[in-house]
A and B are shown apart, each in its own frame.
Chain A
């Protein structure tokens, strides 16, 4: 959820404004003091727990059995040889990949539609955005009532049409599909909002020039508009990948990782390890691995973006 709102903050790149601003020497040194309360808070409630989690990951620590033994990197070693880890990682990559691709393509299409529409845009925009702000647990229940076998709205409609409905949440393949759709339902609106705003910043003169040259509407979108908002596109993709990778609420309520482990993502696996099996050491190790994976993926994206941008100038 947090993602939605960082957008504004991030995209006002710090470097852009430097020129405008002079500063007094005196006020600069005191400006650091304003960071203190927040720094103290972040240190105690964020960094210390993070450090503690890394520390925990070095122990065979079972809250249930009361085992607490230092085993160094043993947990990491065990996880890397754990089939369930690799399977849940593969599933996560698949679900996240499909969901983000779907969200981006659909989001871009709708955003472009809104961009070309000359009336009613405000209302549509507001209505379209709604699923994004709904509490994920509530959203998951709403979707459950659509997809649940037999009593769900979709099954009901299909039965009335004489079609035998699949079990959207109970069949492994359909469950994965439903989970992807669920994620898309809640986060396509975010893509729409940001991409629509992005499309509106494209230089009007550039668009007119392309139109005079005879560019059609699709050519205009893919050759002119999309390239000119590429940093924004990379930014929303990075944010979405990151958040989809760690997303928990919706799948937990929608399928709880089931049937079997068909929709058990790496986050759900971590949750089960930590809070069902109470193996907090191993679970922490898994959390650290997740952090490293996400961090390297994002770093890769940022580097790719920078390289292309530099090449462009």
Chain B
């Protein structure tokens, strides 16, 4: 009896912490459905007639759909480039066991440490002199650069789980190195490939600093557009709330998709060493 009571107390405690944590999200969602008169009400109100006007306005009339297309083009291209070459590198590293490969591995890890602002400056100066500011390739290449170390490490960890016997069997059957990778390694890690691709997609979709520096009116991504839009002027509150909530939606979907890997697979993998 005492045991269940402590459990209930603990559960309620954690629930209230969760509720506090999620308040900003819930508040923003509510705001995005409010008329300005409700949004500015003091005391804050949770009872109001919801309206979709602002979602419609910001995504259709204010051209946020255009920034969505930019975001999609840029993040999907980044994932295609980054994951395909990162997968090969991860495979290569998983099959190497020498001292040198360990060195490479830690060199890659230390690249992850670079302050992005330090990279943003040369990216900007180089892109400017090459006339690549406000083009997709500049942004995509920059994102691939900061994405690679992560992709390689994650893919390598998935390839490490492939039983070595599979490779040996394929080699005995006469597969060359490329076929071993393509026919044996790749099919086995396919779930891991999806996980890596989705995480890379999220990283690219969320990136802000590089977008701020490298994109222009034609290639602006969603975070950049949102930051420029109505962060200052309180009159745009409900409109930018609608935009922000819209930007968040794919991420919620992403969490649902990766739920198992987030909480179990990924974190467990993290500490099983």
**Interface assignment of A215: CB less than 8 Å from any CB of chain B:** no
Main secondary structure, interface of B, reads helix
Main secondary structure, interface of A, reads helix
Q: How far is the CA of A276 from the CA of B257 in the complex (A)?
A: 40
Interface centre among B147, B180, B223, B252 (most CB of A within 10 A): B223
**Interface assignment of B1: CB less than 8 Å from any CB of chain A:** no
Rounded to whole Å, the gap between the CB of A132 and the closest CB of chain B is: 9
CB contact between A38 and one of B7, B88, B181, B248 (< 8 Å): that residue: B88
Counting chain B residues whose Cβ lies within 8 A of the other chain, the interface size class is: 35 or more
**Interface assignment of B263: CB less than 8 Å from any CB of chain A:** yes
Rounded to whole Å, the gap between the CB of A161 and the closest CB of chain B is: 9
Closest-by-CB residue of B relative to A269 is B117
Counting chain A residues whose Cβ lies within 8 A of the other chain, the interface size class is: 35 or more
Q: Are A49 and B126 in contact (CB under 8 A)?
A: yes
Q: Are B23 and A6 in contact (CB under 8 A)?
A: no
The proximity string for B residues 1-42 relative to A, scoring 1 for CB distances below 8 Å and 0 otherwise, is: 000000100110111011001111101100100000001111
CB contact between B160 and one of A12, A246, A275 (< 8 Å): that residue: A12
Q: Are B208 and A110 in contact (CB under 8 A)?
A: no
**Interface assignment of B63: CB less than 8 Å from any CB of chain A:** no
CB contact between B150 and one of A2, A116, A267 (< 8 Å): that residue: A2
Residues of B within 8 A of A8 (CB): 154, 157, 265-267, 269-270
Residues of A within 8 A of B265 (CB): 8
CB contact between B92 and one of A26, A35, A143, A197 (< 8 Å): that residue: A35
Closest-by-CB residue of B relative to A106 is B17
A135-B23 CB under 8 A given contacts A46-B111, A145-B28: no
Closest-by-CB residue of B relative to A18 is B97
Q: How far is the CA of A283 from the CA of B237 in the complex (A)?
A: 34
A38-B231 CB under 8 A given contacts A7-B266, A7-B267: no
Q: How far is the CA of A56 from the CA of B118 in the complex (A)?
A: 11
Q: How far is the CA of A245 from the CA of B116 in the complex (A)?
A: 11
Interface centre among B104, B114, B177 (most CB of A within 10 A): B114
**Interface assignment of B73: CB less than 8 Å from any CB of chain A:** no
Closest-by-CB residue of B relative to A13 is B273
In the complex, 6 of the A-B residue pairs with CB atoms within 8 angstroms, ordered by the A residue number, are A34-B92, A46-B114, A137-B223, A141-B28, A275-B213, A284-B121
Chain A residues packing against B (C-beta within 8 Å): 1-2, 5-14, 16-18, 20-24, 26-28, 30-35, 37-39, 41-42, 45-46, 49-50, 52-53, 56, 63, 110, 113-114, 116-120, 122, 124-131, 133-139, 141-146, 148, 151, 153, 156-157, 159-160, 185, 189, 193-194, 196-198, 200-201, 229, 232, 242, 245-246, 248-249, 252-253, 267, 270-271, 274-275, 280, 283-284, 287-288, 290-291, 294-295, 298
